[in-house]
Each structure stands twice: as structure tokens, then as C-alpha cells.
Amino acid sequence: MTAQTPQLYLITPPVIDLATFPAQLARVCDAQDIACLRLALATQEEDAILRAGDALREIAHCRDIPLVISDHVLMVQRLGLDGVHLSDARHPLRKLRTEMGADAIIGAYCGTSSHDGMSAGEAGADYVSFGPVGASTLGTGDQAPAELFAWWSEMISLPVVAEGALNRDLVETLAPLTDFFAIGPEIWGADDPLAALTALTAPLR
């Protein structure tokens, strides 16, 4: 079981407005203790990703928050980021670890599969994430149950992240069983993302 209060891991919206989002993000990061930030844009336009990466890197690094990017491995070095989050744990992770070196952060999303999680850990992942933990109409609709996190925290030492369709009740239930909560869509659509994050994570205080 995890003995400490889970840390907060922010995921950016899939589309961001660089005229407004950096200030919004900075406000959240100044008010809450954020352990990691994931740049997770839907666009495949290289210039848009580069501009977003530059803007968010400054916000994250001046606050000592590691910044990782979803899937775009080659962008890590180009943008001076801290690592990559793989949305498919079946990526040749062992080869990637060799290429990126020991200091880079490599995370792997493993859906609801403990097998994929263990394989990712053996291949060199720094953390694995399971989800969605809440009800969702996306993908197959399968949910990562509390029992998966309970087993993982009891048997495996590799840090684990809970993400996807989080609500306050799930935060309370999973708090003893996970190392991180990855939060994004749950707050960015709110009029006040900071207030939404504060309310969502109230069980941690």
C-alpha cells in the first residue's frame, strides 16, 4: 500500500489557447503542489506542438515541475523536456530507455492490464498509469478497478498513476492505493480550473 498522500499530475487539454492557457496553468501550479505536467495535444502539427512546448516548459521548469510529452519521443530533446508518456505500453520501451538514457522520465499508459504494467516496468518505465478509473464512453468503456490498484500497490514497487474520469469519490477511494492522480479534463472545462481541482482533491487534505 502507498503510505503517502498521492501527488498531483496535470494533463493539458488536447487543444490550448496560448493567449490564455499559460496564465491559467501558472495559477494552478502556484496554488497546488504539482508533481508532473504532461503536454498532451491532439494536434499533429509540429509547429503548434513546438510553440506549446516552449510556453509550458518555462512555466514548469521555473517551478521545478517535470514536463513530459505524450508519445512524441523526438520532441523531448528538441524542446528540452524531461521525458515522454507513452499512450501505448506496447511501444518498444526497452530500446527507448537505451536511446533516452537513465535520466529521462518514461511513463506508460496500460489501460486496465496489470500484465502490460509489469511488462512496462521490466522494460524500464519510471511509472505506469491505469485508467480510466471512472465511467467513460470512450474506448471500450472498460474501467481500471480499485482492486487493480490495491494489488499493484501491495505487490509492485513501481509508482502507479490513476487517471481518467476521476471524481471526488474515486479520489477518496483510490487515495490509499495510488501514487499519483493524473488530472486534466476534470478541471480544464470548468470556469475556474483551480477551484475545480481544489474540490476534486479535497479528500487528500
- pLDDT (tens digit per residue) in 8-58: 999 999 999 999 999 999 999 999 999 999 999 999 999 999 999 999 999
pLDDT at 146 over 60: yes
Q: What is the mean pLDDT of residues 141-153?
A: 96
pLDDT in tens, 193-205: 999 999 999 999 9
Selected from 3.40.1670.10, 3.20.20.70, 3.10.180.10, 3.40.50.1100, the CATH number assigned to the domain covering 7-204 reads 3.20.20.70
Residues 6+ apart with CB under 8 A from 12: 21, 25, 37, 38, 39, 40, 41, 52, 56, 184, 188
Q: Which three cell numbers, joined as nine digits, stand for 137?
A: 464512453
pLDDT computed for residue 139 by the predictor:
78
> Tens digits of per-residue pLDDT, 87-107?
998 889 999 999 999 999 999
pLDDT at site 3:
59
What is the per-residue pLDDT for 73?
Answer: 96
- End-to-end CA separation in angstroms for the chain: 18
Q: What's the mean pLDDT when you consider all of the chain?
A: 96
Average pLDDT over residues 163-188: 98
SS3 content of the chain, % helix, strand, coil (to 5): 40, 20, 40
Tell me the C-alpha distance between 137 and 19, whole Å: 31
Q: What is the pTM of this model?
A: 0.96
